[in-house]
């Protein structure tokens, strides 16, 4: 299921940053909600897993899991299974983030499972070669994120715009349902603008927001690039 909206998706991955955990998670989510309404940009939140249910209940924004485990319902312990994330209100999940990689077969089965449940599938890849491995599975979104740029002030847009363009043209040529998004080091409005100009439908951002002095201002700055 794709998120049909005029602009976006602008995905904020809160990872396990303490700055935006616990009672602070709903505060940054409310800031993101205000920006989403003000600019009509689709903002999706990926909170720390323990906060998933609470945020899904308390926010109008779509909430997604940072990972899913394909374990059976019932007597399994300590896993995040798709049936439970759906039950608590999540609308989908990241898959294979470079900080939580899984095998290609599990990627394929995770996409199939999320599709079957009409949940959004966002598969993260690190390289152009990684794209070719997963194209045939047609997730809703493919997120290209060079790991060496993650958490830095050097963005995929400024360092590797050609990578965004290459991935986008392969997906467009194959006329796939998947849409390209990108992330890694995105920290200013121009990074989002360049990503969109090179064929990205949206962005995935973490540290430049979670570590910002003012969450609202930073989210507004980055999201405003969608309204150019």
Q: Which residues bind ligand G3P (CB under 6 A)?
A: 13, 97, 145, 150-151, 183-186, 204-208
Q: How far is the CB of 115 from ligand G3P (least distance, A)?
A: 21
- Long-range contact set of residues 47-51: C-beta below 8 Å, sequence gap at least 24: 47/14, 48/14, 48/15, 48/16, 48/21, 49/80, 51/21, 51/22, 51/25
Pairing outcome for strands 141-144 and 202-205: unpaired
**Active site includes 138?**
no
> Closer CB to ligand G3P, residue 83 or residue 122?
122
> Closer CB to ligand G3P, residue 17 or residue 128?
17
**Active site includes 97?**
yes
Locus of tokens 């599938």: 121
Instruction: Report which residue's Cβ sits closest to ligand G3P.
Output: 207
> Closer CB to ligand G3P, residue 45 or residue 84?
45
Q: How far is the CB of 94 from ligand G3P (least distance, A)?
A: 7
Separation of alpha carbons 164 and 197, rounded Å: 9
- Cα distances (Å, whole numbers) of residue 25 to 18, 49, 184, 215: 9, 11, 21, 11
Write down the catalytic residue from 145, 148, 166, 197.
145
Q: How far is the CB of 145 from ligand G3P (least distance, A)?
A: 5
Q: How far is the CB of 202 from ligand G3P (least distance, A)?
A: 11
Write down the catalytic residue from 42, 97, 106, 129.
97
Active site members: 97, 145
């Amino acid at each position: 299921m794709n998120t049909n909206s005029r602009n976006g998706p602008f995905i904020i991955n809160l990872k396990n940053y303490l700055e935006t955990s616990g009672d602070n998670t709903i505060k940054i989510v409310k800031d993101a909600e205000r920006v989403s309404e003000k600019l009509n940009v689709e903002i999706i939140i990926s909170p720390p897993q323990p906060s998933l249910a609470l945020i899904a209940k308390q926010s109008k924004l779509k909430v997604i899991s940072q990972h899913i485990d394909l374990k059976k319902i019932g007597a399994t312990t300590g896993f995040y299974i798709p049936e439970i994330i759906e039950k608590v209100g999540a609308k989908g999940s990241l898959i294979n983030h470079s900080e939580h990689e899984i095998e290609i077969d599990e990627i394929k089965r995770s996409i199939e499972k999320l599709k079957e449940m009409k949940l959004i599938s966002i598969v993260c890849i690190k390289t152009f070669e990684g794209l070719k491995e997963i194209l045939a599975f047609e997730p809703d979104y493919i997120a290209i994120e060079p790991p060496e740029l993650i958490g830095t002030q050097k963005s995929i847009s400024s360092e590797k715009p050609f990578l965004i363009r290459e991935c986008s043209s392969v997906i467009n040529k194959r006329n796939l349902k998947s849409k390209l998004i990108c992330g890694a080091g995105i920290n200013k409005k121009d990074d989002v603008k360049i990503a969109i100009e090179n064929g990205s439908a949206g962005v995935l951002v973490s540290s430049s927001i979670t570590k910002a002095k003012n969450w609202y201002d930073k989210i507004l700055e980055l999201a405003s690039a969608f309204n150019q």
